Structure 1
Amino acid sequence: MVEKDKDNRETFGVLFGDFAPGQKDSSDNPMMRSKEAAKAALPKRFYKEVSVGTEQSAEGETLYCVLLDGRKVKSPAKKTVCVPTQSLAEALVAEWDAQAKEINPAVMPLTRLLNSIVDGVEEAREAMIEEIVAYLNNDFICYPASHPERLVLRQKEHWHPVLDRAEKALGGRFVQASGILAIEQSPVMGERLRALWGDLDVYQLGALHSMMTLTGSALLAFALWDGFLEHDAVWNAAMVDEDWNIELWGEDEEASKRRAFRRAEFDAAVQVIKALRP
C-alpha cells in the first residue's frame, strides 16, 4: 500500500488485509475472500514505475522493498514490505508491474503472502510452531487408504519416501493407520522439528506454515525445506487423492479454478522457501 491518499490506504487495507495470519474469514477460504474483494470496484493502477528499493534493518542488514513511483509499498498494518533478497523483491516488482489497469490481489499471491508475513508472523511465532508440531499427529500422509490397490500403490510411491526421509531426519518412526481413528506420533519427532524450525526467520516460517496449510502436511513442507523433494514432486504428493478422484469422476470448472488458485499460493511459498533455504 502506498501512502498516497486516505482512499488508497483504506482500499489496500481491505484488499490485502484479508490475508493476515491468524485471521479467519467467513469461509476460511482465501480464494472466496479474493472473490468477495473483487466484487467491489478494484482500485485503478495509480503508479507508473515499479522498482526495487532498499532500507536497513534494525540489525544493520540490507533489506529490499518495492517502490511505486519511488514510494515504498506498505502492508495493511502500515509496515514497509521488505524482503531479505533482491530476487524476492524483483518477483514482487513483477507482480505489481503486471497490474495493467486495476490492482487485483487475487493474482498477486507473493504480495499477499509477504504482507501476511510482515504483519503477523513474529507475533504469532510460538502459536505457528505449535500448530506445525501438532500437524505431525494429523499429517494426512500417515493415513493411507486400504483400497483400491492402485490408489494404495500410488500413495505409497509418493508418500513412503517422504516418511522415510523424515524419520531419518527427526529420529523416530511414524505410525500409519487407515480409517478415521486418530493416531499419536512420538513427541521426540515433534521436539526435533521444533528445534529445527524454532529459530527460522519470519519469511521462512511464514512460507512453510502457508505450504503446510495448503497441502495439509507438515512432512511435505519439510521435504521441500530439507531439499529432499522439488516443488512439483511435493505438489503431486499432496494431490494424490484429489487426482484419483478427478480420474474417477472428472473435474468441474469451479474445482479447477480453486486448484489453480491454491497452486499459485503454493508457488509463492516455494519462491520464499527456495530463496532463503539454507
Structure 2
Amino acid sequence: MSNDLFEPQKLESDVDPIRKAQQMMRPKLPKRFYKDVSVEPRDEGHVILLDGRTVKTPGKMVLALPLAELAEAVAQEWRDQVDVIDPGAMHLTRIVNSGIEAVPARQAEVADAIAAYAGTDLLCYRADGPERLAQRQQAIWGPVLEWAEQDLGARLVLIEGIMPIDQPQEALAAIRGAVGRFGALELAGLYTVTTLTGSVLLALALAAGRIDADQAWAAAYLDEDWNAEQWGQDAEAMRLREKKRVEFDAAVLVLKMLG
C-alpha cells in the first residue's frame, strides 16, 4: 500500500529539497480506506501495515524503519486519521518518507543545504538595542554558540543588526562536517528543525542533547516573544506557530529516537 498522497521528493538544484515534498499534497483528501494499522518486524526493518498491506513511500519503496518505537509512532499517525487521510497532519510520515526515499539519492546536497544556514544563522544576529533584549539573546543564544565553538570547532562571528557578513570558512566547514555525520533519516529530521528555527546551531545542539525541544523552540522565537511582550500577541502568528510546533516535534522525535 503506497502512501501516494505524499508527492515524491523532487531534488532539483533550485528547489528546497525536503520542504517542497513535505508541503505538496492532493487538494481533495480521500476517505480512510483501512481499519487496522499494525507494525511488523521484517528483514528490511519495522514496517507499517494497513489491513495487512505494507505501507510504501510515494516512489513505491517499503516504508521500513530501524526502530520499532519509531515505526509505532508513524503507525499512530495512520491510526489517528478518522474520516479522511490528511497528509498535512502526518508530519512524521512525511519526514520518514523523505528520509527513506529522497535524502539518500542526494544526501550530500541535503547536508549542504542544512549547513548553509550557518552563513546566516539566527543566533548570530544580535539586537543593537534595547539592552534587555540584547542581554536575553546572549543568555539564551550564547551558550549554544559556545558549545558550537568548543565541541564542533565552529567559531561564528556575531552581527549587530540585519546586514549579513561572511562567516569564517573554518567555522562553516566544521558545521558541514558535523551535519555530514548524520544518516539519511536523521538528516530529514535535522533539515526540518533547521528550517523551522532558522538555525543549524539549534538543530545540532538539539540533536546532541545540549538543549531540549522546548529550549530550542523558545530560542528560535526569542525575538518574536520579545515583541509580543512589548506590543501584544498576534493571534494569527500564534496559530501558525502552533502548527509549526507540531511539525517540529515530529522532527525532534526522529532525532531523539535515532540519536
Length-normalised TM-score, structure 1 = 0.84
- Within 5 Å, give how 1:6-155 maps onto structure 2: 12-13=3-4, 15-17=5-7, 20=9, 22=11, 24=15, 37=26, 40-57=27-44, 63-155=45-137
Unaligned runs of 5+ in 1: 4-11, 58-62
Query: CA shift at 1:170, angstroms?
Result: 2.0
Change (3 A) 1:199 1:93: same
Q: Please give the alpha-carbon distance, in whole angstroms, between the structure 2 residues aligned to 1:240 and 1:138.
A: 17
Change (3 A) 1:41 1:134: closer
Query: CA shift at 1:254, angstroms?
Result: 2.9
Q: Please give the alpha-carbon distance, in whole angstroms, between the structure 2 residues aligned to 1:31 and 1:153.
A: 37
Cα root mean square deviation, aligned: 2.2
Percent identity between the two aligned chains: 42
1:241 to 2:223 alignment: yes
Query: CA shift at 1:247, angstroms?
Result: 2.4
**Alignment coverage as a number of residue pairs:** 255
Give CA deviations for 1:72-97 in whole Å, capped at 9, x if unaligned. Answer: 11111111111111110110111111
Give the conservation status (yes or no) of the 8 Å contact 1:21–1:116. Answer: no
Who is 2:256 aligned against?
274
Give the conservation status (yes or no) of the 8 Å contact 1:21–1:117. Answer: no
Query: CA shift at 1:196, angstroms?
Result: 3.1
Query: CA shift at 1:41, angstroms?
Result: 3.3
Q: Please give the alpha-carbon distance, in whole angstroms, between the structure 2 residues aligned to 1:88 and 1:270.
A: 12
Change (3 A) 1:149 1:31: farther
Change (3 A) 1:155 1:31: farther
Letter matched to residue 274 of structure 1: K
Change (3 A) 1:172 1:117: closer
Query: CA shift at 1:224, angstroms?
Result: 0.7
Change (3 A) 1:245 1:237: same
Query: CA shift at 1:171, angstroms?
Result: 1.9
1:156 to 2:138 alignment: yes
Length-normalised TM-score, structure 2 = 0.90
Q: Please give the alpha-carbon distance, in whole angstroms, between the structure 2 residues aligned to 1:226 and 1:100.
A: 36
Change (3 A) 1:79 1:99: same
Give CA deviations for 1:195-241 in whole Å, capped at 9, x if unaligned. Answer: 33324211111111111111100000011111110111011101101
Q: Please give the alpha-carbon distance, in whole angstroms, between the structure 1 residues aligned to 2:154 and 2:68.
A: 38
Letter matched to residue 194 of structure 1: R
Query: CA shift at 1:110, angstroms?
Result: 0.5
Give the conservation status (yes or no) of the 8 Å contact 1:21–1:121. Answer: no
Query: CA shift at 1:21, angstroms?
Result: 6.3
Q: Give the secondary-structure state (helix, strand or coil) at the position aligned to 1:16.
A: coil
Q: Please give the alpha-carbon distance, in whole angstroms, between the structure 2 residues aligned to 1:240 and 1:29.
A: 27
Give the conservation status (yes or no) of the 8 Å contact 1:54–1:65. Answer: yes
Change (3 A) 1:199 1:160: closer
Unaligned runs of 5+ in 2: none
Who is 1:8 aligned against?
none
Give CA deviations for 1:13-40 in whole Å, capped at 9, x if unaligned. Answer: 3x3117x364759xx7899756xx4xx4
Who is 2:170 aligned against?
188
Letter matched to residue 54 of structure 1: P
